[in-house]
């Protein structure tokens, strides 16, 4: 469904005298203001100004509503505005049209049946770049859906839509000089990307083939999208992928690949001068269509393999004195930048453009964590933070068991909200100025429909909007949560198929090694939420303890089960968490096997820190290895032990498997180990669902040393979160 188009005409310098005869409704307490993003400074006063929506949505100043462009307004933040609502009416001041536009969005959000609450708002965004990205290649989303997203983005003050227009899934934008890009490779044999990609019949099809899946935007479509966005103060950033992810181009124009044949490569042949003619021709047409200062040229995940044996690429490397193929990619990105600068534009690329040498004025999108962004900012380059661990909206947003199939990962809205785009521990204040903004990315390998797309984007995009706009010190999850909940029906009214938030309970642990106890806090996305819980592993019922902000600290073991109750009924599946302040906590551990530096969890004592992991191996609690785990816990004295356990997770999509078995050995002297038992895995290595197995050993041992050996049998990762010793 497309929203009614509002008119956002320019509002310059209209000043109308205040009327002495204004209508204000009787003062009432304002209970809650659900603005997202939260303004930088806001004072709520008692009372409402009665106004009807037509007056707000009219662009003209009126008797009670005054829109003023004030040249003395803070020029360092041109999107800022001031909004005062009192019994005199509504007064809006800003330095620019954009500032007035954002004040209007705030008014739209403030409007209730009672009128507009009296407020005194002085607002401006934290970052100039507030972006949402959409992959329209893996699955195509028609123009109408893009316009709908632009409406919602503007309501929440997001100002850049990054369109990933080209990739192996299909080329999505009409190009006059290269008509085969759309006539030959905008359509394919299968709509479901995964089936198509993995299938034997992975083929592109000519436009017009009956039953073919695909689509593209004509130049008129693009002009319409760009204009519609501009009316909403949104910039469209086009992304054209170079030099990788270009299988579709190399099908239509195989002479641009190293092999010269279709269906062989995804990387352009950089040794071929025709590649650069293509790049400049395409970028010229793109520049003509998109007024965006920034043009995105991709740069991510090039395979680079074909360049190593391609005579043309090798000849270029030799001529230019390049040491490796990274420099070939860098050569191409430098050329792209030279071209864009010659046209008065700026280049953005994914963080791989650092490899082989960054182009002199490039802006970097840091997606493989923050390191690329940190490095670039230190070098004086502008950076947009979009790290996968927080900002990927194609990842799961709740327990995968309850969700449509996704690419993996786990970025629930609370986790998204926790992200601060400025890595304050790694950058100086001066370097931090290069962090110009933040973006969330929505890749669509597993997202086929507009409904599903909206479900993945919302309400996470509301968290993004607030991260991007609101000062860090003004943000808190507990404050955001009720406002986010209140915005769910708002999104629904605007026709968005939003995720309506999970019924899961989060259990947040705090291990206190001084008091020798574990404190547990429960939290839910839903607000308000009646949470009831047990600590003995039984299913909570209506008569179980009502959660009121604390649970008695756990000094030994608790098996917490918690759930939300609504209308007297348990919602969803209770969340379970085992909590043990066990005897192994903080004891020394020695590893006989290799650790994997990327997945150390809390470090060397991660397996004995009391913290259990959650649903993702990326939550900093799970330690991962690419080999057997063989470790020895030193209890520091001979100890009577009766139970030892260790837990592993399985999620075979990203290559995380259960070990084949776990063996327990004990020793008094650390030299002579006695085998005490073996527990095999009970989970099939074909089981695709996220699963956990606890390997438990019961006995009666006197030992100082406890050794666990977990056998890796799938040539993949194994991940464990905690060894528990009683």
- Please list the active-site residues: 167, 245, 301
Residue nearest to ligand ACM (CB): 300
Site string for ligand ACM, 321-360 (x = CB under 6 A): -----------------------------x----------
Q: Are 466 and 480 in contact (CB under 8 A)?
A: yes
- Residue 604: CB minimum distance to ligand ACM, A: 31
Per-residue CA distances from 109 to 8, 117, 487 (Å):
16, 11, 10
Nearer residue to ligand ACM within complex by CB, 155 or 171: 171
Cα separation, 21 vs 3, in Å, equals: 35
Pairing of strands 557-566, 294-298: unpaired
Q: Which helix (H) or strand (E) holds 642?
A: strand 629-650
Site string for ligand ACM, 479-518 (x = CB under 6 A): ----------------------------------------
From candidates 367, 390, 393, 499, binder to ligand ACM by CB under 6 A: 367
Cα separation, 470 vs 101, in Å, equals: 17
Cα separation, 414 vs 427, in Å, equals: 25
Q: Does 34 bind ligand ACM (CB under 6 A)?
A: no
DSSP state of 577: E
Cα separation, 606 vs 628, in Å, equals: 17
Q: And the tokens for 324? A: 């490796």
Show the 3-state SS of 475-512. Answer: CCHHHHHHHHHHHHHHHHHCCCCCCCCCCCEEEEEEEE
- Residue 409: CB minimum distance to ligand ACM, A: 11
User: Site for ligand ACM (CB under 6 A): how many residues?
Assistant: 4
Cα separation, 457 vs 451, in Å, equals: 10
- Residue 458: CB minimum distance to ligand ACM, A: 20
Cα separation, 696 vs 703, in Å, equals: 17
DSSP string computed for 514-526: TTTEEEEEEEESS
Nearer residue to ligand ACM within complex by CB, 307 or 367: 367
Q: Which helix (H) or strand (E) holds 680?
A: strand 674-680
Nearer residue to ligand ACM within complex by CB, 254 or 388: 388
Nearer residue to ligand ACM within complex by CB, 197 or 559: 197
From candidates 301, 361, 506, 530, binder to ligand ACM by CB under 6 A: 301
Q: Tokens 């040794």: give the residue.
A: 271
Per-residue CA distances from 117 to 27, 88, 645 (Å):
9, 12, 57
- Residue 556: CB minimum distance to ligand ACM, A: 45
Q: Are 52 and 65 in contact (CB under 8 A)?
A: no
CA atoms within 13 A on the CB side of 609: 19
- Residue 367: CB minimum distance to ligand ACM, A: 4
Nearer residue to ligand ACM within complex by CB, 351 or 466: 351
Nearer residue to ligand ACM within complex by CB, 127 or 367: 367
- Residue 295: CB minimum distance to ligand ACM, A: 16
Q: Tokens 């991962």: give the residue.
A: 624
- Residue 64: CB minimum distance to ligand ACM, A: 48
From candidates 300, 576, 628, 634, binder to ligand ACM by CB under 6 A: 300
Q: Which residues contact 418 (CB under 8 A, 6 or more apart)?
A: 390, 477
CA-closest candidate to residue 436, choices 492, 361, 373, 351: 373
- Residue 134: CB minimum distance to ligand ACM, A: 13
Cα separation, 23 vs 16, in Å, equals: 17
Residues found near ligand ACM in the complex (CB under 6 A) = 300-301, 350, 367
């Amino acid at each position: 469904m497309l929203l009614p188009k509002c008119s956002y005409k320019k509002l310059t310098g209209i000043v109308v005298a205040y009327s002495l005869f204004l209508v204000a409704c009787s003062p009432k307490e304002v209970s809650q203001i659900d603005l997202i993003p939260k303004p930088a400074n806001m004072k709520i006063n008692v009372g409402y100004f009665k106004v009807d929506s037509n007056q707000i949505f009219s662009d003209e100043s009126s008797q009670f509503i005054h829109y003023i462009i004030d040249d003395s307004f803070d020029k360092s933040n041109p999107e800022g505005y001031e909004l005062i609502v009192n019994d005199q009416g509504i007064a809006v001041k800003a330095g620019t049209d954009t500032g007035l536009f954002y004040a209007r969005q705030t008014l739209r959000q403030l409007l209730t049946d009672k009128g507009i609450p009296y407020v005194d708002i002085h607002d401006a965004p934290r970052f100039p770049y507030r972006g949402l990205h959409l992959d329209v290649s893996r699955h195509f989303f028609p123009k109408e859906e893009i316009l709908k997203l632009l409406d919602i983005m503007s309501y929440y003050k997001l100002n850049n839509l990054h369109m990933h227009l080209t990739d192996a899934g299909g080329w999505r934008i009409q190009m006059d000089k290269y008509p085969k890009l759309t006539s030959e490779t905008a359509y394919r044999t299968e709509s479901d990307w995964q089936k198509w990609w993995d299938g034997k019949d992975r083929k592109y099809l000519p436009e017009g083939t009956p039953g073919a899946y695909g689509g593209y935007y004509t130049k008129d479509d693009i002009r319409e999208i760009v204009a519609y966005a501009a009316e909403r103060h949104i910039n469209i950033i086009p992304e054209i992928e170079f030099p990788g992810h270009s299988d579709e181009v190399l099908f239509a124009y195989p002479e641009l690949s190293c092999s010269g044949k279709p269906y062989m490569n995804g990387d352009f042949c950089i040794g071929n001068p025709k590649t650069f003619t293509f790049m400049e021709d395409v970028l010229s047409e793109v520049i003509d269509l998109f007024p965006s200062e920034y043009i995105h040229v991709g740069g991510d995940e090039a395979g680079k393999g074909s360049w190593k044996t391609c005579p043309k690429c090798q000849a270029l490397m030799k001529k230019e004195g390049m040491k490796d193929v990274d420099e070939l990619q860098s050569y191409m990105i430098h050329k792209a930048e030279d071209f864009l600068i010659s046209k008065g534009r700026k280049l953005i690329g994914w963080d791989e453009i650092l490899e082989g040498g960054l182009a002199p004025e490039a802006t970097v999108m840091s997606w493989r964590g923050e390191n690329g962004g940190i490095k670039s900012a230190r070098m004086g380059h502008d950076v947009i933070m979009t790290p996968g661990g927080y900002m990927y909206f194609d990842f799961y947003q709740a327990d995968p068991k309850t969700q449509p199939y996704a690419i993996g990962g786990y970025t629930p809205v609370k986790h998204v909200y926790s992200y601060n785009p400025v890595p304050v521990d790694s950058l100086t204040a001066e370097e931090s100025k290069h962090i110009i903004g933040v973006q969330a990315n929505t890749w669509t390998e597993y997202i086929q429909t507009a409904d599903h797309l909206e479900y993945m984007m919302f309400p996470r995009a509301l968290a993004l909007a607030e991260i991007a706009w609101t000062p860090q010190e003004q943000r808190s999850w507990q404050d955001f949560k009720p406002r986010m909940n209140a915005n769910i029906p708002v999104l629904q009214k605007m026709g968005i198929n939003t995720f309506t938030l999970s019924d899961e309970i989060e259990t947040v642990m705090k291990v206190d090694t001084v008091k020798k106890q574990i404190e547990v806090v429960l939290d839910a996305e839903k607000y308000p939420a009646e949470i009831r819980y047990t600590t003995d592993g039984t299913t909570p019922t209506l008569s179980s303890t009502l959660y009121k902000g604390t649970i008695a600290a756990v000094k030994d073991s608790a098996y917490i089960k918690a759930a939300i109750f609504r209308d007297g009924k348990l919602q969803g599946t209770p969340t379970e968490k085992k909590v043990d302040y066990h005897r192994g906590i903080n004891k020394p551990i020695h590893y006989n096997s290799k650790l994997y530096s990327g997945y150390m969890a809390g470090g060397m004592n991660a397996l004995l820190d009391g913290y259990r992991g959650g649903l993702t191996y990326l939550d900093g609690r799970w330690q991962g290895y690419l080999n057997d785990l063989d470790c020895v816990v030193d209890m520091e004295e001979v100890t009577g032990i009766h139970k030892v356990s260790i837990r592993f997770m399985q999620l075979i999509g990203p290559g995380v498997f259960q070990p084949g078995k776990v063996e327990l050995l004990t020793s008094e002297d650390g030299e002579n180990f006695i085998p005490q038992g073996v527990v095999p895995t009970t989970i099939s290595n074909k089981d695709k669902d996220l699963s956990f197995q606890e390997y438990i050993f019961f006995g009666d041992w006197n030992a100082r040393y406890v050794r666990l050996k977990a056998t890796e049998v799938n040539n993949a990762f194994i991940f464990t979160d905690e060894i528990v010793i009683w």
